[in-house]
Every structure is written in structure tokens, then in C-alpha cells.
């Protein structure tokens, strides 16, 4: 039996601090790296990397939201990207059966760390928005990702827009940096890790300027 079809795999579980009381809260997830809670709605959002070797352009990686505890199924391995039936495991299924993503983040963009911005340093438009580090593709002939995007939400938690925030890590189809994770400082500044350069950048905002220091 394929590992992705085992009944104990492709799940999000919650457990007590002592390791007891394991409970499935979501199914059909492939590779989750970033997770964070909506500051107002208290719902879990998470990035999900989709399968390789289907196409350079499909499926797209995802941003998901958990809204039905124990009932949400995000489709893996049957449906990729929320809209592509898997040629091996999709037979007899429809992508309509599964919980759709709140946003698609591009093919093989490798979205890793994510955080809701709850600080006070950045302008108001970024308050409670999601920042996502996209590590970038490794198996596309034309590389994609390698940046930080900001996801702005509507009051009900649906996605209003996905916009570039920090670019320049990808030049002439070559990486000069690959963002991995995002953390917030108490002063509202942002830390961004880059495993290509072995660096951590601190992003600050002040009157009429944004600065990033290594």
C-alpha cells in the first residue's frame, strides 16, 4: 500500500501536552510547514506543498483554512491544488468532494513559514494579513517563487488578494536567496530566514521607508 494512502497518514492531529488524547482534526494534507491562528476568527491557516512530477505548472501549492474540526479533507492524494485530479490516485473522485484552499500560491512555489501580522510597526493595511515565505521551486526549468508574499483577507477570513511583498531573491533564473520562515519581534519588525545564504534578515518600517538588514 502506498504510504500516502495509509489511514494514519496525511492528517493534522491535536494531542494533550502529555501525549494523550490524539484526535484527528483534518485529513487529506500532504506537506505542511507553516501554521498560524487568525487573530480574530481563531481559525487555523496553513501552507501546503503539493506533489512533484505531474507537471511544471500543476498542481499549485496552497494556503488552507480549517473551519470544520475533524471534517475538513483537503484532498491529498486524490486531488492536487484543489482543482487537479491525481492521475494515479484520483480515479473515482472529484475535487468537489474536498475542502478547497483559500488561495493557490503557484506551481511548486514551496510555501513554507507563514505568520499573521499582529504588530504595530507596519502600516494598517498589513494588520492581520498573512505573510508567507515561498522557498521557490527546485524542479522547474523556469524557477518560480523565492519571495515573500502578503495575503490580505476579508473580514470573514476569505482571501482578498495575494500580493508580492519582498522580491529579488531570483535573478536570471538563479536564486540569490531562498526565504524559509517568518517571525515577528515585539517591536513589530519582522525576521525572515534565508537558508541559501545562511542569513536572517530584519525588516523594519518607518516614516516613508522600509529597510531590511542582514
Cα–Cα distance between 98 and 59 in angstroms, integer? 15
Contact 178, 170 (CB under 8 A): no
How would you write the pLDDT of the chain (214 residues) with one tens digit per residue? Answer: 344 567 789 999 999 999 999 999 999 999 999 999 999 999 999 999 999 988 899 999 999 999 999 999 999 999 999 999 999 999 999 999 999 999 999 999 999 999 999 999 999 999 999 999 999 999 899 999 999 999 999 999 999 999 999 999 999 999 999 999 999 999 999 999 999 999 999 999 987 566 666 7
Length of the chain: 214
Pairing of β 11-14 and β 79-80: unpaired
Distances (CA, A) of 74 to 14, 46, 211: 17, 11, 38
pLDDT at 3: 43
Contact 179, 170 (CB under 8 A): no
pLDDT at 2: 46
Cα–Cα distance between 50 and 29 in angstroms, integer? 9
pLDDT at 4: 54
83: DSSP letter: T
SS3 at position 75 = coil
Backbone dihedral region for residue 32 (phi beyond 0: left; psi -120 to 50: alpha; all else: beta):
beta
Contact 34, 21 (CB under 8 A): no
C-alpha cell at 101: 484552499
30-69+101-213 carries CATH number 2.120.10.30: yes
Contact 166, 158 (CB under 8 A): no
pLDDT at 206: 83
Going from N- to C-terminal start, the domains of the chain cover: 30-69+101-213
Compute how many other C-beta atoms are within 10 angstroms of the C-beta atom of residue 23.
Answer: 11
Amino acid at each position: 500500500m502506498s504510504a500516502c494512502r495509509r489511514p494514519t497518514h496525511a492528517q493534522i492531529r491535536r494531542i494533550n501536552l502529555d501525549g494523550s488524547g490524539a484526535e484527528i482534526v483534518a485529513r487529506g494534507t500532504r506537506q505542511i510547514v507553516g501554521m498560524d491562528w487568525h487573530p480574530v476568527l481563531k481559525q487555523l491557516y496553513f501552507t501546503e506543498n503539493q506533489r512533484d512530477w505531474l507537471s511544471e505548472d500543476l498542481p499549485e501549492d496552497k494556503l488552507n483554512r480549517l473551519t470544520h474540526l475533524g471534517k475538513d479533507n483537503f484532498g491529498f492524494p486524490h486531488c492536487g491544488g484543489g482543482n487537479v485530479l491525481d492521475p494515479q490516485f484520483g480515479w473515482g473522485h472529484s475535487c468537489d468532494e474536498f475542502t478547497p484552499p483559500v488561495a493557490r500560491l503557484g506551481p511548486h512555489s514551496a510555501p513554507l513559514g507563514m505568520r499573521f501580522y499582529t504588530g504595530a510597526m507596519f502600516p494598517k493595511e498589513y494588520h492581520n494579513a498573512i505573510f508567507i515565505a515561498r522557498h521557490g521551486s527546485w524542479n522547474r526549468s523556469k524557477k518560480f517563487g523565492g519571495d515573500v508574499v502578503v495575503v490580505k483577507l476579508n473580514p470573514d477570513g476569505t482571501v482578498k488578494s495575494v500580493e508580492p511583498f519582498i522580491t529579488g531573491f531570483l535573478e536570471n533564473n538563479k536564486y540569490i536567496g531562498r526565504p524559509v520562515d517568518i517571525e515577528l519581534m515585539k517591536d513589530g519588525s519582522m525576521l525572515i530566514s534565508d537558508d541559501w545564504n545562511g542569513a536572517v534578515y530584519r525588516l523594519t518600517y518607518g516614516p516613508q521607508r522600509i529597510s531590511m538588514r542582514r
